[in-house]
Structure 1
């Protein structure tokens, strides 16, 4: 599929996740088969642009184009200014967050809270698209089916987005009030796809090659976006892409492949964050990779107690030394 001038290599995308989809993780997912990745959401408030956290999120060095940056906010002028600022920092696609359900975002009328104010939705989309059009940068939208089950308005929002020049829409099959509970529904995504001509990307509970194919066939969507199921399992993108193209399953990674993937990820993670933050922020990734592995319940507390990157790396190497490198990881462990 295409987003503006960009032709993407496959229809399996990485969802933006705060605290997860940083530059090292996006690069890894793309190397393991993701056709496209969107950054963590960046604040639209200019007062935050000089913060350490935002500066990291603006660092796209070595990332494969198209670099897609998600922006969040409720003020149309600030959102337009943030879009232009991020284009200047290397963004080639601007994604607007109208889907985040967390309270600290919704309490400032941002994220999915915007779905209760369609006039503001329209003004934000108009201002951002108008700001990006002269720069040749397409604008996309990520949203949910509505605020709650009684006020699903995804079809209206999608039509509005298309009319205002948005290049593609990603739809998570839950309302804001659902948060991440229950099962995602795909009927609304199917309805949206039938009502608009711009590309539609389906999101929500896509955790296997079979589920990805089902969602694509049922909704007619142009692509799927994988979020939580990729935590600690970045090879899911090549698994889904291969299955969609061939109907065949790939062999699970071996312990040797997992070792290389994890250690390469950590090396870049440490370089990106530095020693103090790197060793601490790596713990969640290690936990996701190894959660269902043998002896993980005894090993992970030890990892969480380590306070320097060298010891953290050595502990992981020693753990993998106990497992034959050519042995495939189990089906259960592959979902870690």
Structure 2
């Protein structure tokens, strides 16, 4: 691999390593962002929040906007289908929370989002997309905060939107666009289409970030070499593997293009303990331990720990109990190299269809009836 990146420039924001941690529901909270940042440089994005929830002062939404004391660059992803709410929410993030970067989600494939015309369904309405981006950029400009968007190829192969979305993002003053090389109907199944990312790179003048099927640092280099992308967005590949950002940093510095961290089980256990500790610092011990449980399977994937140990760790309720269980693991067990390059997290099968508002596909230029000032009653952090 010959790619050696010089960092990523998003408007006034410089990211030393061109790697972005994708927002993931229930995953990329302040504790996990700090853990990843401790392993490598990059931009670490908060879980997605709803613009209406933020504007109307929803307590759950506000609780999600927690940042670690070591988090010097605050980055947040917004979901919204109404230009007014998105603009107001962007202003709040800049003015009250001191964010340095706002990303807008137009890639979420979850039915409760797309059925309202949100997420990956929204770019089909080009005027609505443009109005939302104009509102966000106008709100962020006085604070010198760059606005970016994340999207997918389209609703399905017959309703592609990514080239139009790129043009609109550029015309409205967005600093970059990230493309997940799958359609909404694919969800997380199949293989990401890196050719589409390369096509978008040729289509726009703003930086394009590639997303999809980056499981190792070498994959990131291959993607950038294949597509000409300015950087990469990493999601599922880092689940249970925060050290992936160490490999990515080394790869982009040109000091370890083929280096892959292979921690022993003892080293993984230490990272698990650190993760749980950070969660407890931010949430309290009871809730922090409950939040940690979902990560156990990812951390131990491929290790010979046995079902009973995994079940016990999946029920841990205190740091003391966690210490006892982790102490019983074999610290010398080598990393299961068979897991390298393998998909992690959710995959599933393609959807039979994308749930969208009735008549949504009839018009590509409308504002989308029902999308302006909707009741955004989706969960406050759905991944895209």
TM range (shorter): over 0.9
Trace 1:109-188 onto structure 2 (pairs within 5 A): 109-188=117-196
Q: Aligned residue for 1:41? A: 48
Please state if 1:329 is matched with 2:339.
no
Q: Aligned residue for 1:292? A: 302
Q: Which moved more, 1:245-254 or 1:154-163?
A: 245-254
Deviations 1:243-294 (A, max 9, x none): 3423331441233432222111110111222233222221111221113211
Q: Tell me by how many angstroms 1:195 deviates.
A: 1.4
2:258 to 248, 252, 261: 248
Q: Tell me by how many angstroms 1:51 deviates.
A: 4.4
- SS of 1:40's equivalent? coil
2:327 to 313, 318, 323: 318
Q: Which moved more, 1:158-167 or 1:287-296?
A: 287-296
CA contact (8 A) 2:277 2:319 kept: no
Residues in 1 aligned to 2:57 and 2:29: alpha-carbon distance in whole angstroms: 17
Q: Is the alpha carbon distance of 1:156 and 1:83 closer, same or farther for their aligned partners in structure 2, counting shifts above 3 Å?
A: same
- SS of 1:100's equivalent? coil
Please state if 1:280 is matched with 2:290.
yes
Deviations 1:116-171 (A, max 9, x none): 21111000000110111111111010111111101112111101111110001110
CA contact (8 A) 2:156 2:184 kept: yes
Q: Aligned residue for 1:265? A: 275
Gaps of 5+ in 2: 1-7, 345-384
CA contact (8 A) 1:279 1:312 kept: no
CA contact (8 A) 1:58 1:86 kept: no
Gaps of 5+ in 1: none
Q: Which moved more, 1:47-56 or 1:6-15?
A: 47-56
Residues in 1 aligned to 2:212 and 2:11: alpha-carbon distance in whole angstroms: 24
CA contact (8 A) 2:155 2:183 kept: yes
Residues in 2 aligned to 1:53 and 1:191: alpha-carbon distance in whole angstroms: 39
Residues in 1 aligned to 2:288 and 2:240: alpha-carbon distance in whole angstroms: 17
Residues in 2 aligned to 1:134 and 1:90: alpha-carbon distance in whole angstroms: 13
Residues in 2 aligned to 1:241 and 1:178: alpha-carbon distance in whole angstroms: 30
Residues in 2 aligned to 1:159 and 1:82: alpha-carbon distance in whole angstroms: 24
Q: Aligned residue for 1:64? A: 71
Q: Which moved more, 1:49-58 or 1:168-177?
A: 49-58
1:79 to 83, 86, 90: 86
Q: Aligned residue for 2:100? A: 92
Q: Which moved more, 1:152-161 or 1:51-60?
A: 51-60
Q: Tell me by how many angstroms 1:304 deviates.
A: 2.4
Larger RCO of the pair (alpha carbons < 8 Å, separation 6+): 2
Residues in 1 aligned to 2:206 and 2:134: alpha-carbon distance in whole angstroms: 16
Q: Is the alpha carbon distance of 1:207 and 1:277 closer, same or farther for their aligned partners in structure 2, counting shifts above 3 Å?
A: same
Q: Tell me by how many angstroms 1:34 deviates.
A: 4.0
More helix by percentage: 1
Residues in 1 aligned to 2:215 and 2:320: alpha-carbon distance in whole angstroms: 33
Q: Tell me by how many angstroms 1:48 deviates.
A: 7.6
- SS of 2:314's equivalent? helix
Q: Aligned residue for 2:60? A: 53
CA RMSD of aligned residues (A): 1.9
Please state if 1:302 is matched with 2:302.
no
Residues in 2 aligned to 1:102 and 1:46: alpha-carbon distance in whole angstroms: 18
Q: Is the alpha carbon distance of 1:46 and 1:191 closer, same or farther for their aligned partners in structure 2, counting shifts above 3 Å?
A: same
Q: Is the alpha carbon distance of 1:172 and 1:8 closer, same or farther for their aligned partners in structure 2, counting shifts above 3 Å?
A: same
Residues in 1 aligned to 2:338 and 2:144: alpha-carbon distance in whole angstroms: 45
Q: Tell me by how many angstroms 1:102 deviates.
A: 0.6
CA contact (8 A) 2:100 2:145 kept: yes
Residues in 2 aligned to 1:188 and 1:291: alpha-carbon distance in whole angstroms: 31
Q: Aligned residue for 2:358? A: none
